[in-house]
Amino acid sequence: MMRLGFIGLGKMGKPMTRNLLRAGYEVTIHNRSRAVVEELSGEGARPATSPREVAEAADLVLTCLPTPATVEEVYLGEDGLIPSAREGQILVDCSTVGPALSRQLYAAARERGAGFLDAPVSGGPAGAESATLTIMVGGDKDVLDRAMPVLQALGTNIHHVGPSGSGTVVKLVNQLLVGINMAAVAEAVVFGVKAGADPQALLDVLQSSFGSSRMLTRGLPLIMERQFEGGTPINLILKDLGLIHEVGSALDVRLMLGAVAQEAFKEGRALGLGDEDMVALVKPLERLAGVEVRRTQ
């Protein structure tokens, strides 16, 4: 089996690493916060102190990092993955970044004789824990074929969507829809409850109607149960919406609904809800309307 590396052991990377260990892989890990490194080391992972050390120990390295700046540092820094890369090695970035950065890393890896895949994921921490992630992959098909057994230990829907940068583009489209739909769900359910509808009745009817969405079927049950702890936090979606608008501006693409959603998420952050799950967008709307979307029976 390939020797693996994993850098970025947050809400997604930690359960993803656990699934690789369960699949029988040897995994060398690195993370800025050392507590999670110690935790996973106790479960069989091998600790490293730098991206270079991970690269030297692994045939394939995965990263799942919080910001484009962190991705640049891990891949292109003095002790980064690409300066340490070797012929035939595979680098797989599961972070959410812009397509220009993904293509830059692809080109830099090729100069070292290594393969690079942009392979962002969707499914949240629950999908990471259950190994049911959707993985959207950009890059060379032959590199993906070699990496496929590893990705299959992490997800059930693995799509090769085109050349380098394509996976990143598809992920940004997904995040744009997530932001817009979540803002719309929060507004719609508060409107319905204020007008007299039972929230469970709304869910029962809408989930089989044109108004349904994944954000509705995921979000409304959480709202009704008042479960706002941060599965997919407002701050995370707001970061992605900011990145989307940077890319859209560079491409001269109008993102009017995306801008409205971004303002809704900014409001949530300003009210101290940034670390709560994105369904907490409903809270300021509830306050304004004087209602609470809560299960009634």
Catalytic residue set? 171
Q: Which residue has the tokens 């032959």?
A: 142
Cα 136 from Cα 122, distance rounded (Å): 8
Sign of CA dihedral 294, 12, 115, 145: negative
Q: Which residues does 223 contact at the CB level (< 8 Å), separation at least 6?
A: 186, 189, 199, 279, 282, 293
Cα 268–125–122 angle (5° rounding)? 85
Specify whether the CB–CB gap between 182 and 219 falls below 8 A: yes
Cα 115 from Cα 90, distance rounded (Å): 5
Amino acid occupying residue 136: M
Specify whether the CB–CB gap between 124 and 92 falls below 8 A: no
Q: Please count the other Cβ atoms lying within 10 Å of the Cβ belonging to residue 287.
A: 12
Specify whether the CB–CB gap between 74 and 83 falls below 8 A: no
The values of phi and psi at residue 282, to 5°, are -70, -25
